[in-house]
Structure 1
Amino acid sequence: MLRSKVRYIVSACCALLALCANAQNNVIDEVIWVVGDQAILKSDVEMARIEGQSRGERWDGDPYCVIPEQLAIQKLFLHQAAIDSIEVSDNEVLQTVENQINLYIQNFGSKERMEEIFGKTTTQIREQLFDIVRDNQIMSQERDNLVKDIKVTPAQVRRYFKDVPEDSIPFVPTQVEVQIIMREPEISQEEIDRVKNELRDYTERINSGQTQFSTLALMYSEDKGSAVHGGELGFMGRGNMVPEFANAAFSLTDPKTISKVVETEYGFHIIQLIEKRGDRINVRHILRRPKVSDAELTKTISEVDSIADEIRRNVFTFDEATQYISTDKDTRNNHGLMVNPNTGSSKFEMKDLPQEVAKVVVNMNVGEISKPFVMINNSEKEVVAIVKLKNKVEGHKANMRDDYQLMQDIVHNKLCEEKIDKWIRDMQKTTYVRINEEWRNCEFKYPGWIK
């Protein structure tokens, strides 16, 4: 909600930064700041600098001044959150922790490499991450709590932009609204049986000791994200899995047992239990997808082309066709209207559309229906699609008629930023702060740290 420099300040010390700060052993540590009853260590600042450099971050000033101030502002938010009794759900924190650990493993290449980099076991990393994630979630809630009463009226928006120089009014890129019909080509039973038999063969090879599940996942799984980790998915709850997969995974009790072949919208799987922890589970899986034959693909293209022709001849409307013909569960009950996952609205900039759709839409006129084309859907399946360009607004300077929500958000964020800025300055006046002498010679964004 508040996209400002202040939001960046309070979130800059991410979990990775904090873990690295605690993992490093070659910095002679000392307390350099104290905010309230919370200490900021030299190692915290040094590793924040190193981590920031690795991401190509540039600081607006000396990092040995900017970073301690960022950490000090975090302490202010946590102190206020304690006063306001802000709490977060342990389950929510745990899920975020597991997602973060899975991301580390993916980025570093293996769990062992992650442990080597941090100098900690996975359990130690998980325990430390819990506190970091909980604090970040508490800070986010406290930040929202501080600005929850800010409301913006149309009069305020008009007044704000009336005084803004013309060259400061934001440019709104071209946006489109797109309807889509997708059809999945039929897969022959012979091809389905081939994939199932393939997975059963993997199971026999694993059970006989010829090879390991993780080796086959690395070699053959079509879930490339988990294949590189031997098929391991990391800890997840039922809500993070499709129902068919979750039912099979949570029914496993013995890590030596491999599930029967499981069908989901993504294809066919076999699953192996690694560990259960309460209502979360860590499993490996191998995903195989039946292949669409050239003949079936050609047949489906022809069928979709005929559907497009009938819509153009007004035999039925595009909206009607989506409900009865489209196989895309995400759009067929919404008149085929695509939803931008980044914003939750039906408006897309070209760069946010699926690549195959963007290539088709870019040269279409409003109301036009495309020729059929092949694309990969959200379940990673090959489908045949047609699209209709429902609406298009060319790039332009923001105006009240077409872009009120955008302009309201700009004003709202500005007011939130001003309120947070004032709050930080007020908190400085009433919070105990001590800074070591050698860390005081700085031009702080908020000069009230030194009293």
Structure 2
Amino acid sequence: MKIKNILLLGIASLLGVSYAVAAIDNSAEEVAWVVGDQPIWKSEIEEAYQSMLYEKVPINGDPYCVIPEQLAIEKLYLHQAELDTIEVSESMVQQQVDQTINNYIAQLGTQEKVEQMFNKPLPAIREYLRDMIANRSRVQQVQHSLVKGVKATPADVRRYFDKLPEDSIPYVPRKVEVQILTAAPAIPREEIENVKARLRDFADRVNRGESDFSTLAVLYSEDPGSARRGGELGFSGRAQFVPEFTAVAFNLNDKNKVSKIVETEYGYHIIQLIEKRGDRVNVRHILLRPRVAEKDLEEAVVRLDSLHKDLVKNNIPFEEAVAAISHDKDTRNNRGLMVNTNMQSNNYNTSRFEMSELPQEIAKVVNDMQPGDISDAFIMKDPKTSQDIVALVKLTNRIEGHRANMADDYQQIKEMYEQSQQAAILKKWLEKKIAETYTRIEDGWRDCEFTHKGWIKASAN
């Protein structure tokens, strides 16, 4: 069961954003709170505050009240994790550490800038992040354990919805369901050979010591995410790459040599090893994509426009045309129906999209269509490969923006109900824990309207 931001009171945000602050020696620091036998240092609160400002995380209230209460709640969850002997997967933690560091390098441009931000070398940053991410996982596991019994029946959801005040019923933006048929013109052999020749030249120059791989990546790689970092991808596990790339990257041993050319669905690559660490590897790559010829795109547009006429006349069902000629195997095997793969969306893994969740070219075409309409052929970027392709789309269904209702938005209302039940369980558990746990809040930190009752009473014991 998913828990979406329920009653963590910012703990997850704090754990996520406080990566950007450096740990310091607390031996001579001022204590603000004590929870059980665990101190909360004034420096911890300041670090969290500065980090939230850096990440532009909203703080609902006085930060010197909100943040220490968040840290105190975290300590209650972590204490419960110890009682429950909750363990975390070291490989999962290390993978998230790598991913976090990779993200910071992507944002700041170089490892050196990340070290400057943390004011510590990379190994120390890794250890700091390891503790932070492990603690976050423990908190989440405790929460899951507490709320795992929440089940929603249709009757529960109906009663919940009927009692919702009108101003609490969410507005649901317009949603659409779209079928797509795509054509990917063949890339000329000459263009592919030109791309390979350029990559072989790059590899030869690096192998001879005439050029630096990272400089060539900055200048020429067509992977925008890694090019500005000299092609560096950061420490990654095998599952994080496509199989063809993994097979080569994990078999590299000589840091001074460049791999042979690797073909993947994204284009053609050359790879250089930076470092191996257990079952993870850090490599650089240069990606070049062969281009579809303009005349071939134009010919594909003409072909699909001809098909469009037959589709509009109902000479050929759209689904049959998709099965016969569509290029994208995922939608082809789904009768052309697109599936929402945005994991942050309420529509995840369904056929429904808000307009902002569609590829821009499709959203523009679909915007003025009516259900049942089939578009003219248009050129778009393949979301997977960024190659130019030609497409037809059919608008299967459109639900206009509206206040949520049981008929159209049952799943969303069901999730709202489950989250409200989960929040109530966690709130009750936390307030019981607060009442049972020794807490001392020092002078200067008490004059607050806390989210939970019992902190001040506990500190007076």
Whole-Å separation in 2 of the counterparts to 1:256 and 1:287: 19
Secondary structure at the counterpart of residue 203 of structure 2: helix
Distance in 1 between residues matched to 2:198 and 2:5, nearest whole Å: 53
Between 1:141-150 and 1:28-37, the stretch displaced more is 28-37
Q: Aligned ranges for residues 171-250 of structure 1 at < 5 Å? A: 171-250=171-250
TM-score by length of 2: 0.93
In the other structure, the counterpart of 2:252 is: 252
How far is the alpha carbon of 1:398 from its aligned partner? 1.6
2:437 pairs, out of 431, 434, 439, with 431
- What's 1:356 paired with? 361
Q: C-alpha displacement at 1:156, in angstroms?
A: 2.2
Closer, same or farther: CA 163–363 of 1 in aligned 2, 3 Å = same
Structure 1 residue 8: Cα displacement? 4.1
Partner Cα separation in structure 1 for residue 145 and residue 234 of structure 2: 33
The equivalent of 1:326 in structure 2 is: 326
Equivalent-residue separation in structure 2 for 1:87 and 1:339 (angstroms)? 35
Deviations 1:377-407 (A, max 9, x none): 1211111111111111112222212211111
**Aligned AA (2:13):** A
Alpha-carbon separation, structure 2, partners of 1:257 and 1:86: 44
For residue 409 of structure 2, give the secondary structure of its aligned residue in structure 1.
helix
The answer on 1:32 being equivalent to 2:40 is: no
Deviates more, 1:13-22 or 1:121-130: 13-22
Report the Cα distance in structure 2 between the residues aligned to 1:86 and 1:373, rounded to whole angstroms: 53
Partner in structure 1 of residue 309 of structure 2: 309
The letter of the residue matching 1:196 is K
User: 8 Å contact 2:291–2:387 — kept in the other structure?
Assistant: no
1:179–1:390 Cα contact (<8 Å) kept:
yes
* 1:4 and 1:417 in contact (8 A); partners too: no
> Contact 1:262/1:270 (CA < 8 Å) preserved in 2?
yes
The answer as to whether partners of 2:17 and 2:52 remain within 8 angstroms in 1 is no
Query: Is the CA contact 1:21–1:48 (under 8 Å) kept in the aligned structure 2?
Result: no
Aligned to 1:61: 61
Contact 1:21 1:46 in 2 (8 A): no
What are the residue-to-residue correspondences of 1:333-344 with 2, within 5 Å?
A: 333-342=333-342, 343-344=348-349
Cα deviation for residue 340 of structure 1 reads 1.2
Q: 1:78 to 1:444 in 2, by over 3 A?
A: same
Question: What are the within-5 Å matches in structure 2 for residues 262-411 of structure 1?
Answer: 262-342=262-342, 343-377=348-382, 378-411=384-417
Distance 2:22 2:103 in 1: 18
In 2 relative to 1, CA 81–247 (structure 1 residues): closer, same or farther, beyond 3 Å?
A: same
Report SS of the residue matched to 1:200.
helix
Aligned length: 450
CA displacement at 1:18 relative to structure 2: 4.5
Instruction: Determine helix, strand or coil for the equivalent of 2:250.
Output: helix
TM-score by length of 1: 0.95
Residue 323 of structure 1: CA displacement? 2.6
Partner residue in 2 for 1:20:
21
Q: Which residue of 2 aligns with 1:90?
A: 90
Report the CA distance between 1:163 and its aligned residue: 2.5
Secondary structure at the residue paired with 2:130? helix
What amino acid sits opposite 2:367 in the alignment?
Answer: V
Q: Deviations over 1:379-438 (max 9, x none)?
A: 111111111111111122222122111111111111111111111100011122222233
* Counterpart Cα distance in 1 of 2:192 and 2:219: 20
CA pair 186-276 structure 1, distance change in 2 beyond 3 A: same
Point out the more displaced range, 325-334 or 347-356: 325-334
| Corresponding letter in the other structure for 2:31 | V
Write out per-residue CA displacement over residues 36-63 of structure 1, whole angstroms, 9 at most, x where no aligned residue: 2332221110011112223334433221
> Counterpart of 1:427 in structure 2: which amino acid?
K
2:245 and 2:300 map into 1 onto residues whose CA distance is 29
SS at match of 2:7: helix
Q: Which amino acid aligns with 1:272?
A: Q
1:285: Cα distance to partner?
0.3
SS in 1 for 2:194: helix
1:241, CA displacement in angstroms? 0.3
Q: Relative to structure 1, is the Cα distance of residues 138 and 323 closer, same or farther in structure 2, using a 3 angstrom cutoff?
A: farther
- Can you list the C-alpha shifts for 1:170-215, whole angstroms capped at 9, x where unaligned? 2221110111111111111100000000000111111222210000
- For the 8 Å contact 1:305–1:372, the answer to whether it is kept is yes
- Write the distance in 1 (CA, Å) between the matches of 2:20 and 2:218: 29
CA contact (8 A) 2:22 2:120 kept: no
1:107-118 to 2 correspondences below 5 Å? 107-118=107-118
Measure, in 2, the Cα distance between the counterparts of 1:104 and 1:159: 46
Letter in 1 for 2:246: A
Cα distance, 1:326 vs structure 2: 1.4
Counterpart CA distance in 1 for 2:45 and 2:190 is: 61
Distance change (3 Å), C-alpha of 1:243 and 1:86: same
Q: Partners in 1 of 2:444 and 2:326 — Cα distance?
A: 67
Identity among equivalent pairs (%): 49
Structure 2 gap segments, 5+ residues each = 343-347
Instruction: Work out whether residues 18 and 44 of structure 1, in 8 Å CA contact, stay in contact via their aligned partners in 2.
Output: no
Decide whether aligned partners of structure 1 residues 415 and 16 sit closer, same or farther in structure 2, where only a CA change above 3 A counts: closer
Partner of 2:345: none
- Mapped to 2, the partners of 1:4 and 1:118 lie a distance apart of 27
